Amino acid sequence: AQTVTQSQPEMSVQEAETVTLSCTYDTSENNYYLFWYKQPPSRQMILVIRQEAYKQQNATENRFSVNFQKAAKSFSLKISDSQLGDTAMYFCAHLGGNNQGGKLIFGQGTELSVKP
Amino acid sequence: GEEVAQTPKHLVRGEGQKAKLYCAPIKGHSYVFWYQQVLKNEFKFLISFQNENVFDETGMPKERFSAKCLPNSPCSLEIQATKLEDSAVYFCASSPRASNYGYTFGSGTRLTVV
């Protein structure tokens, strides 16, 4: 069974600095997808970034980028030039590729605080 | 519409009462998912639908939880005889036929059992 682990319950960073959130996962599949979701205090789940396992190139979305290490089953999120609006819970998630419409498996979440 | 609409936003029930939550997926999305989030913790998968058919119900506590997605109606999640431990935020998400781009989540229903 797939599992996702986020080992950092809480992180903090100064505004304008860079922070990296860790995520590891376990799967027996070769083709799958990984995601980072942001959940601000409004509790709305917002998709931050997506990575396809068969693509070696790390995904990037503006200030957000990932370091995808397939052999190590690691998928960390780097936030550059942190902004106060980045304060939120961040969830790493895995989606199996062999089953269209399969469920997302989430990690435990990391609570990020951006300090002025 | 382009959002997943969940109603109500808040629901308070006495222990033992019934709770019913609704979700209108994005038009054209074939898959609907229900998740339970206790406090700010991880998401527990409950059930998924492909159109009106149950796709995966491995997460459902079958004795008190039930769910439906009927044509031309919002999907629903019903909890009979609620317990204190059912207090959580229940999220619905939908995805299109090609589901590997991630899901669109609703804003959740906060259920408080007192």
* A97 contacts B108? CB cut-off 8 A: no
Closest-CA distance, B85 to chain A, in angstroms, reads 19
Q: Which residue of A has its CA nearest to B38?
A: A108
Whether pLDDT at B49 is above 90: yes
Amino acid at B90: Y
Q: How confident is the model at residue B1 (pLDDT cuts 50, 70, 90)?
A: low
Amino acid A101: pLDDT: 62
Whether pLDDT at B98 is above 70: no
Can you tell me the distance from the alpha carbon of B85 to that of B114, in angstroms, rounded to the nearest whole number? 10
Question: B100 — contact with chain A (CB < 8 Å)?
Answer: yes
Which segments of chain A have a pLDDT < 50? Answer: none
Nearest to A101 among B55, B102, B107 (CB): B55
Can you tell me the distance from the alpha carbon of A49 to that of A3, in angstroms, rounded to the nearest whole number? 19
Residues facing B104 on adjacent strands? B94
Q: How confident is the model at residue B41 (pLDDT cuts 50, 70, 90)?
A: confident
Distance of CA B15 to the CA centre of its chain: 20
Q: How confident is the model at residue B97 (pLDDT cuts 50, 70, 90)?
A: low
Q: Is the peptide bond before B96 cis (omega within 30 degrees of 0)?
A: no
Is A110 within 8 Å of A10 (Cβ atoms)?
yes
Amino acid A90: pLDDT: 97
